[in-house]
Every structure is written in C-alpha cells, then in structure tokens.
Chain A
C-alpha cells in the first residue's frame, strides 16, 4: 500500500509538471512554426510592397499597414468600451451590490462570456449596424466602431470576472480600517481597495485587450473588411480590415507555399508579437507594483 502510494505520487507530480512545461513548449512550437512559415515573406515579397498601403493579394499587393492600423483602431475602441464598463461592473459586484444581486449578476456575466462570438456578430449585422448607420448618419453601419462596441462587449465578461476576483481577494481588514478612519464608501473603494487590487485589475485589462485583439469572427462580420489605412479619428466611423479577419478570410483558399500564404503567416507573426508585447508590458507593470508593495510592507 505504502509503495503504491509513492508510485502514484510520482506519476501525478510528473504529470502536473509536464502539463506546466507543456504550456511553454506549445508557445515555443507555435512561435517556431509561425516564424518558419512567415519569414520567407522577406525574400518572397519585397519590403516596399509589404509596407505599402494597398492590400490586394490576388494581384500581388501585400501592403499590411492597413491591416495593422485596422486591428489597432478596433482594439483601442474595444478597450475604451470594455475597461470602464468591466471595472465599473466588477466594483459594483464586489463592493456595492447586496448579496442577492451579486448572486444573480455574477453568473449572468459569466454566461455573457460564454456567448459564441458568431452570435454576437449576427446581432451586430442585423441590429447594431443598421442602428448606427441611421443614428450617426453614416454611409454604412459596417464600421470600426461597430466592431469596437461588439468586441468591447465580448471583452467585458473577461475583465469583470478577473477584476472582481482581484477586488474580492483584498482582505476585509483593509476596508474596515478605512471605515474606522471615517472614510466614505467611495473613498474606501478608490483609495484603499482599488490600489490594493491594482495588479489583478491590470491583469484583467490586459486579458480583455488580448481577447479583443485576437477575436476574429465578430470583426469579420461587422467591420466591412475594407483595407483602408485607418489613421484619422474619422476612421473609427468607416470600414476597416483587421489582421485576424484577413487571415480567417483568406487562409482557406490560398495555395500552400505561395507568397500570399507566407504573408498571411507573417501577419500571424505580427499579431503574436503584438499580444506578447501587451503581456510583457502588463507583467512588468505588475512586477514593479509588487516590488513597491514589498518595500512598503517591509
């Protein structure tokens, strides 16, 4: 009995260790694959074409700038929607709402997070885009703004559930201490609970941004996919084409090994690097915040 237990334990610890390392392995393998398929872009398509502003791959125009700006404008818009709404909801659920309200709201938000993005895209085409076209008097409702609003909606549940967990993890003694000093509820939230949960809230925002930048189906359905360089504020109200939608729309039909194929992988590489950049920025901020907290406590 004793022996079989240690044998069990050995296997289980190894399994857990392996699944931990497998995450690193998979990321490395994916990146290796992306680089292997994406790097030939540099000698197959010339650089001036790659950084031009025309994307029309069937006639060898491979300008990826419109796609990058398209993804950025939609993601920034989505972040501007998701962060205030998400954090507001998290604060309400964790700090203000009565217990019964909280027990209704939390599962509802999680349910929203499980909604398939294609369903949201469908609602976007049929309801949101006609509404925006009439309401804002735009030529068409299939715009970056429509994509931003829907992506914001998709990112909100992620932001809420992570931020709410972070706020929940703040020890009750902090709040009681603030109340004892005569702080109002708002002062407690803004000056005590929120700073204490800062690293978790930041993680929530970054996860939300990651969710928004990688989302494909909804943006493909509602942003119109016109490869226009989106650099003005007005671009928010016109159609854009994102990197994810381009890969999804074109990968299915592309001849394996062609220039177009390599350029699509190159776009995947750019996307990977952007989300890695976002993650690194987030963890460095969190890391610094932790260090400072340790200094104060010691």
Chain B
C-alpha cells in the first residue's frame, strides 16, 4: 500500500511538471504569415519557417501543402501572403488574379534537379532523355542497347506518392508532353526512400535510379544527360542547374501580391540569405545564390 501511495505522489508530481511546462510558454505571437502551396516545397518551407521563427519568436508562419494550384488559388483569393509553386504561374491565373486586384510577383527561391545514378562499375556514362524514357517504360531492357555491358537493367524509382516520382514521370518518361500517357514499366522497383535507392545502386551494377541532386553520395556515378539526340551531354551540378543546361531541373517559386512589405519582405529577404539557402542544400535542392 505504501508503495502505491509513493507511486501516486510521483504520478502527481509528473502531472504538475507537465502542466507547468505548458503554462510558461512565450507571449502570444503578434504577426502571422500564411504560406501555402506545392507539396514539393512544403518540407523546405517548413524548415525555413521553423528556423526563422526560432530567431523571431514574435512571428508565426503557418505552412500548408495541397499543391501548386491550391497555393496560387489561395493567393488569388487573398487568403495567403505567400504561395509556393513548383511550376510557373499560368496566364489565366495571372488574369484571374488581376481581376481580383492582385499582382502576383514571382520569386525563384530554389531549384530542384534530379540526377540519374548508376553503379560506378557500370561503363555507361551518358544517355539522352529519350533513352532514359525508354529504359523506364520498358522498351530498353539491357544495358548493351545503350552502349553498356550485356546485363539486364533493374529500374529503381521512388514510390508513387513522392513528388520526385511525379516530376520524373512528367519530365523524363513523358518528355514533358501532356498527351503522352507512357507509364513506368510494371517491373520498376518502387522503393520507399532515397536511402533504399542509393543502397541498391551502390551494390548492384545492373541498377539505374534517380534522386534529388543534393541526396546523391559521392561514390555513385551520375549520368550525363542530353536533352536531344546529338546534343551536348551535361552532368548535373549546381552550376549546370543554375545556367539551365541540365535537362531534368526546374525552378521552385514563391508568389506574393505585388512587392512584399513588412514582415513578409523581411522573411523573403532572409530566404535569399546564405543561412536559408544552406537549408535548401540540406534538403536536396539546389541553392539559387552563392553561399
């Protein structure tokens, strides 16, 4: 019985400790920034918001995903301060915004590039976009068809819920065409994480995979890619992504209503600072400014 009482007292102490933690939080924040849009950017936007709020406790930044279209629609309706988008705003969206009295202003906040990777033992060094498309759709099944050894090709991809998967499908498999309904070959391995792809490529000379440029470790071989047959083969790097010679890369945007002012301006200025752009690199994207 005595033991029970001691336990009970300890439990009460624990409870009071928990509740006292809750009460002495910071004074309520004064200002909010609403930030919504692309699911590709949502992790980056969250990481930025967390770091920024740690330094500026008086500001609360609420970040939500939902897709680029959702973000831009909210900007047009005037419900968010910043819209995130992994594509450029469309003509009709600009027209809609103008009729609502909103002037969307574009900021390129980071770039996203996908590197195609193979095992270092694989002699293949360069491929055209068309060849990669044919490999992933199952039209090319042996490395000898693209100048490699006589080995079967093992295709690795991220799971279908990954933004990288969708971007790769649209840009590489379908070569950016809306009418093209090419699908991944059914025997494409769908791995749940970047690490899974990297581990398999590292030990399997038959494998081909893709991943965000920032995630590729040094000991794997990146493929130089030509946009057209006969074009120059370009290796992915921060430079080739920023000068737009590398084919599988896109800009990531934030849109504001007109020239930002006040805390939104301060936040956007901070986003282009070396500290914020370092977070870009940590999350596997390509920074837009020199660090």
Q: Within 8 Å of chain A (Cβ to Cβ): is B123?
A: no
Residue of B nearest to A224 (CB): B189
Most chain B CB within a 10 A radius of its CB, from A57, A58, A140, A254: A140
Per the bound structure, the CA–CA distance linking A253 and B158 in Å amounts to 14
Q: Within 8 Å of chain B (Cβ to Cβ): is A175?
A: no
Q: Within 8 Å of chain B (Cβ to Cβ): is A142?
A: yes
Residues 215-238 of chain B: 1 if any A CB is under 8 Å from the residue's CB, otherwise 0?
000000000000000000000000
Q: Which of B48-56, B107-115, B190-198 contacts A (4 or more CB under 8 A)?
A: B190-198
Interface size on B, residues (CB 8 A): 25
Give which listed residue, B181, B183, B204, contacts A140 with CB less than 8 A: B204
Give which listed residue, A53, A59, A126, A139, contacts B183 with CB less than 8 A: A59
A133-B204, A228-B186 given as contacts; is B192 within 8 A of A254 (CB)? no
Per the bound structure, the CA–CA distance linking A59 and B180 in Å amounts to 13
Interface size on A, residues (CB 8 A): 33
Q: Within 8 Å of chain A (Cβ to Cβ): is B188?
A: yes
User: Shortest CB–CB separation between residue A73 and chain B, in angstroms?
Assistant: 15
* B184, A56: Cβ atoms closer than 8 Å: yes
A28: B residues at CB distance < 8 A? none
Q: Within 8 Å of chain B (Cβ to Cβ): is A252?
A: yes
Interface of chain B, helix or strand or loop or mixed? loop
User: Shortest CB–CB separation between residue A56 and chain B, in angstroms?
Assistant: 6
User: Shortest CB–CB separation between residue A22 and chain B, in angstroms?
Assistant: 25
Q: Within 8 Å of chain A (Cβ to Cβ): is B203?
A: yes
B152: A residues at CB distance < 8 A? 139
* B161, A250: Cβ atoms closer than 8 Å: yes
Give which listed residue, A56, A239, A253, contacts B189 with CB less than 8 A: A239
* A140, B206: Cβ atoms closer than 8 Å: yes
Q: Within 8 Å of chain A (Cβ to Cβ): is B12?
A: no
A133-B204, A140-B204 given as contacts; is B159 within 8 A of A239 (CB)? no
Residues 89-129 of chain B: 1 if any A CB is under 8 Å from the residue's CB, otherwise 0?
00000000000000000000000000000000000000000
| 13 residue pairs from A and B, CB less than 8 Å apart | A56-B160, A56-B183, A59-B183, A125-B199, A139-B153, A140-B189, A140-B207, A220-B192, A221-B196, A224-B189, A225-B190, A225-B191, A228-B186
9 more CB-based (< 8 A) A-B contacts, given A226-B188, A228-B187, A238-B187 = A54-B183, A59-B181, A125-B196, A125-B200, A140-B204, A140-B207, A141-B203, A224-B190, A224-B191
